[in-house]
Amino acid sequence: MTDYLFLTFLFLIAGVIAVPLASRLQLGSVLGYLIAGIAISPVLGLFNVDVVSLQHFAEFGVVMMLFLVGLELDPHRLWQLRMRLLGLGGLQVGLTVLAVMGIALALGLNWSVALAVGLVLSLSSTAIVLQTLTEKGQLRSDGGQAGFLVLLFQDIAVIPMLALLPLLALPELQSAGGADHHDAGMSLVAHLNAWQTALVTLAAIAVVVFGGSWLTPRLFRFIAMARLRELFTASALMLVVGIALLMSLVGLSPALGTFLAGVVLANSEYRHELESDIDPFKGLLLGLFFMTVGAGINFGLLGDNLLLIVSLTLLLIAIKVLVLWLVGSLFGLRGANLWLVALGLAQAGEFGFVLLSFTVSSAVIPVTLADQLLLIVALSMLLTPLLFIIHERLIAPRYLRESERQADNIDQACKVIIAGHGRVGGIANRMLRGAGFETTVIDYSSAQLEMLRAYGIKVYYGDATRPDLLNAAGIANADLLVIAINDKEKITEMTRYAVEHFPNLHVVARAVDRHHVYDLWAVGCRDIIRETFDSSLRMARSALIALGISEERARDISAQFETVDRRYMREMADLYDPKIPSHENQPYVTKVRELNAEWARQLNARQQQEEE
Q: What is the 3-state secondary structure (H, E, C) of 38-90?
A: HHHHHHHHHCCCCHHHHHHHHCHHHHHHHHHHHHCCCHHHHHHCHHHHHHHHH
Q: Is 134 left (phi over 0), alpha (psi -120 to 50) or beta?
A: alpha
Please determine, for residue 482, whether its predicted confidence score (pLDDT) is greater than 70.
Answer: yes
Higher per-residue confidence, 340 vs 486: 340
**Sheet with 480-483: strands ordered across:** 459-461, 439-443, 416-419, 480-483, 506-511, 528-530
pLDDT of residue 323: 96
Lowest mean pLDDT of 148-162, 180-194, 385-399, name the range: 180-194
- Note the pLDDT of residue 183: 45
Q: By percentage, how much of the chain surpasses pLDDT 90?
A: 17
Mean per-residue pLDDT, 585-607: 77
pLDDT tens digit sequence for 310-319:
999 999 999 9
* Span 536-557, pLDDT tens digits: 889 999 998 998 888 888 888 8
**pLDDT score of 18:** 87
- How many angstroms separate the CA atoms of 549 and 583, rounded? 33
Question: pLDDT tens digits for 490-539?
Answer: 899 899 999 999 988 999 999 988 888 888 888 889 888 888 888 888 99
pLDDT at 449: 66
Distance (Å, whole) CA 421 – CA 428: 9
Asked if the model's pLDDT at residue 331 lies above 70, the reply is yes
At residue 345 the predicted structure's pLDDT band, cuts being 50, 70 and 90, is: very high
Span 178-195, average pLDDT: 64
pTM of the model: 0.60
Quote the strand ranges of 110-180, DSSP E: none
DSSP 186-226: --SSTT--HHHHHHHHHHHHHHHHHIIIIIHHHHHHHHHTT
- Rounded to whole angstroms, the Cα distance separating 56 from 285 reads 11
Residues 6+ apart with CB under 8 A from 278: 64, 67, 68, 236, 237, 240
Q: What is the pLDDT of the chain when averaged over all its residues?
A: 82
- Answer left, alpha or beta for residue 251, where phi above 0 means left and psi between -120 and 50 means alpha: left
In this prediction, residue 405 carries a pLDDT of: 43
Percent of the chain with pLDDT over 70: 90
What mean pLDDT comes out for the span 471-495?
87
pLDDT digit string, tens, across residues 436-451 = 888 888 887 666 666 6
Domains assigned to the chain: 2-401 (1.20.1530.20), 411-531 (3.40.50.720), 540-612 (no CATH)
Whether the Cβ atoms of residue 392 and residue 137 lie closer than 8 Å to each other: no
Rounded Cα–Cα distance for residues 418 and 479 (Å): 11
pLDDT digits (tens, 9 = 90+) for 205-248: 888 888 777 888 888 888 877 777 788 888 888 888 888 888 88
pLDDT computed for residue 508 by the predictor: 93
Output the pLDDT for position 193: 75
Q: Say yes or no to pLDDT of 99 above 90.
A: yes
From CA 372, how far away is CA 250, in angstroms rounded? Answer: 30
> What's the one-letter identity of residue 524?
G
For residue 175, what pLDDT is reported? 63
Predicted pLDDT of residue 568: 76
Residue 388, helix vs strand vs coil: helix
By the 8 A CB rule, do 30 and 131 touch?
Answer: yes
Q: How far is CA 132 from the centre of its chain?
A: 6
- The pLDDT of residue 408: 47
Residue type present at position 17:
I
**What is the reported pLDDT for 409?**
53
CA–CA dist 355, 334 (Å, integer): 33
Burial class (CB in 10 A: 0-12, 13-18, 19+), 103: middle
Nearest in space to 240 (alpha carbons), one of 58, 55, 68, 54: 68
CA-nearest of 502, 493, 450, 451 to 473 is 502
The percent of the chain in helix, strand and coil, each rounded to the nearest 5, is 70, 5, 25
Statement: residue 180 has pLDDT above 60: no
Query: pLDDT value at position 457?
Result: 67
* The pLDDT value given to residue 609: 65
402 has pLDDT over 60: no
The pLDDT of residue 101: 95
* 593, pLDDT greater than 60: yes
State the DSSP H helix or E strand holding residue 439, giving kind and residue range, or none if neither.
Answer: strand 439-443
DSSP assignment, residue 266? T
Q: Is the pLDDT of residue 179 over 60?
A: no
pLDDT at residue number 90 = 92
Amino acid 307: pLDDT: 93
Per-residue pLDDT for 252 more than 80?
A: no
- Which has the closest alpha carbon to 210: 264, 266, 270? 264
74 vs 81: which has the higher pLDDT: 81
State how far Cα 40 lies from the chain centre.
Answer: 28
